[in-house]
A and B are shown apart, each in its own frame.
Chain A
Amino acid sequence: MEVTFRIRRYNPEEPGKNKPYWQEFTLKDVKETDRVLELLHRVKWEQDGTLGFRRSCSHGICGSDAMRINGRNALACKLLIRSCGPKVQVEPILGLPVLKDLIVDMEPFFAHYRSVMPFFVNNDPVPADGRERLQDAEEQQIINDTTNCILCACCTTSCPSFWANGEYVGPAAMVQAHRFIFDTRDQASQERIAVLAEPDGVWRCRTIFNCTPACPRGIEVTRAIGEVKLAIMRGTREGIINPKDIKVHG
């Protein structure tokens, strides 16, 4: 089949291209099982070598090729042409500064990520056998979903609250915070709760639910944010998540 790509281009260094514009490319012999990323490669290799986009693993794990495809955020490497149709519109994710074509500056996104202390905190002496700190399977289930985040920014850049105000911490940082706040072995949940209870924290979430379908990992993003809100309201992480309610992966 033949597929037309309509791509949002921008190159700040080249006169005439330093304002965002649309450019179309037509590709022949496209299989419906081709992924959007493969076709972007074909555009770059066969038609226009100046096209800029990020990708690393190409297998939905590294999270570097998030873009807005046909109006909705997705990973280019996970989306098949079958679900796009013969016309594919690709543009950079919204709310972060565009550097070139489909490449955005991820630093503001990672700054929000760092603000929620996305690392394990436990100041107790290590177990006597010197090995890992254990928790039971049920306790792990509580955070299992949010451990899947790959920081691709699909959720955060699908959020109208984030578009309006880049100071808002955004869904991804809250997913990451959720993973540690509800980790029964972690001892810094109160500090993370304090960060997220700031005016630019959870309160700017208006439960629009754009983030949940945007997640390429199927994380229940809005639910995680809701649980963080409840933890803030009640001042504790206890009793908010019932392990029986957790979906089982695989």
Chain B
Amino acid sequence: MTSLVLTITETLRYRGAIGQWSWVLHRLSGLGVVLFITLHVVDTSWALFYPDLYVEAIATYQTPLFTIGEFVLVACVIYHALNGLRIVVFDFKPVWWKYQQKAAGWVLIGTLVILVPVFIGMFGHVMRFYGDPESKFLGIGDVLTAQLPFAAGIGAAIIGAILFSGVVGIIRPEQSKAERKAGVKPKGSKLERFWWSFMRLSGLVILPLVFGHLAMMHVIQGVFDITAADFTVVGTTTANVTGTAVEFVANRWNYLIGPLAIWRLYDLALLALVTVHGFNGLRLVLTDYTGFSPLLKRGAIYLCVIGAVVLLVLGAGALFGTIDDSMKKMAQEAMANLHQ
């Protein structure tokens, strides 16, 4: 904890230039997105595994708390994407370092410029929903209660990771750095080298994918359109007849261009890249501040592996599954029960 507290207090006290604040924002926005990705992938997989719970999850998204969260999320994604681009540029062209301060400023300006039309588009959806007296939304109590399983799941993952780390520590006690280094010639870590390249390359590929995803799900159509009946689902030619979130997902995943279920492939690429990028980023952040404790440092790594594997398995499991009519029916019933 001390190294984290020290880093936070001294980062606030040290008069670093804009690059220091870019780094702070990059970390915070990354952490925010990883948290949301965790909720989002688990929720969306429920469209297939527990349609009634998916209906409830989307209902929690259509409440003021999550609406605010949605705006923050979109801002985080756009900033993280543009600042990531800046990091990649200066990593591969160190000789341009003189422009990094300007570039950091342009990242902020670029984020704002993109956010204006995006927020206007999102605000339109928000006003249409909250301005309509027919709209119903869950109370804050229900929304928070719905997050309890997540909090419990994340808590269990953290405890599990630390316990596992403890067991590993007993079976195979960690050598001190001096012991490890004694008589061993450093060879360099091929793994860290791989992750360094992966973060940069995956970031470049994620950028267009995630901007497309944001455009479709937050700007062209909003979270509120997911449950709009007889509404043509974005990126498809089919209407959401039952007006359930489950049918919305089914229409997208079953939409074919030629033989290709393009949205399944799109979502699969996004899922794989974002999950691995996000949880490796989380590992980098957590291991930066747990160096003082081998137990916590190993635990942090296990936690990230657990998180990534759970999301990949659930997400891919849902993407390769088939949503049938009985699930839509379940969703319809759940919708009807929701606001009673």
Contacts and interface: CB of A to CB of B under 8 A. Distances in A.
25 contacts: A68-B14, A70-B15, A71-B14, A94-B6, A158-B16, A160-B16, A164-B6, A165-B291, A191-B185, A194-B188, A195-B188, A199-B192, A201-B188, A203-B189, A203-B192, A208-B20, A209-B19, A209-B100, A222-B94, A223-B95, A227-B94, A230-B92, A230-B94, A241-B95, A245-B95
Contacts of A53: none
Interface in B1-39: 3-4, 6-7, 10-11, 13-17, 19-20, 22-23
Interface of A: 68, 70-72, 94, 158, 160-161, 163-167, 191, 193-199, 201, 203-204, 206-210, 212-213, 220, 222-227, 229-230, 232-233, 241-242, 245
A226 B89 CA distance: 11
Contact of B97 (A165, A220, A230, A232): A220
Interface in B179-203: 185-189, 192-193, 195-197
Max count, chain B CB within 10 A of own CB: residue among A194, A206, A245: A206
Nearest to A166: B291
A72 B15 contact: yes
Interface of B: 3-4, 6-7, 10-11, 13-17, 19-20, 22-23, 87, 90-92, 94-95, 97, 100-101, 177, 185-189, 192-193, 195-197, 288-289, 291
Given A164-B289, A206-B23, A212-B97, A193 B188 contact: yes
A35 to B, nearest CB: 19
Contact of A208 (B19, B91, B289): B19
A209 B15 contact: no
Contacts of A213: 17
Contacts of A245: 95
A158 B16 CA distance: 8
B97 A210 contact: no
Contacts of A167: 177, 291
Contacts of B185: 191, 194
Given A199-B189, A210-B14, A163 B6 contact: yes
A19 B92 CA distance: 45
Contacts of A199: 189, 192
A71 B15 contact: yes
A52 to B, nearest CB: 21
Contacts of B87: 207
A163 B3 contact: yes
A242 B7 contact: no
Contacts of A212: 97
A214 to B, nearest CB: 9
Nearest to B4: A164
Contacts of A70: 15
A210 B4 contact: no
B189 A209 contact: no
A203 B91 CA distance: 12
B288 A161 contact: yes
Contacts of A206: 23
A162 B288 CA distance: 9
B322 to A, nearest CB: 43
The 8 A-B pairs with the shortest beta carbon distances in the complex, nearest first, are A226-B94, A197-B188, A209-B19, A71-B15, A165-B291, A223-B94, A194-B188, A223-B97
Max count, chain A CB within 10 A of own CB: residue among B187, B188, B193: B188
A209 B13 contact: no
Contacts of A164: 3-4, 6-7, 288-289, 291
Nearest to B87: A207
Contacts of B187: 194, 197
B187 to A, nearest CB: 6
Contact of A197 (B13, B91, B192): B192
Given A163-B6, A226-B94, A158 B14 contact: yes
Nearest to A221: B97
A218 to B, nearest CB: 12
Given A167-B177, A167-B291, A199-B189, A207 B196 contact: no
A71 B196 contact: no
Given A164-B6, A165-B291, A209 B95 contact: no
Contacts of A230: 92, 94
A233 B19 CA distance: 24
Given A167-B291, A204-B288, 20 more contacts: A71-B15, A72-B14, A94-B10, A158-B14, A160-B16, A164-B7, A164-B289, A166-B291, A194-B188, A197-B193, A207-B19, A208-B16, A209-B16, A209-B101, A222-B100, A226-B94, A229-B94, A232-B193, A233-B197, A241-B95
Nearest to A197: B188
A161 B332 CA distance: 52
A233 B194 CA distance: 9
Contact of B91 (A161, A193, A226, A241): A226
B84 to A, nearest CB: 11
A245 B97 CA distance: 12
B23 A160 contact: yes
A44 B11 CA distance: 30
A73 B106 CA distance: 26
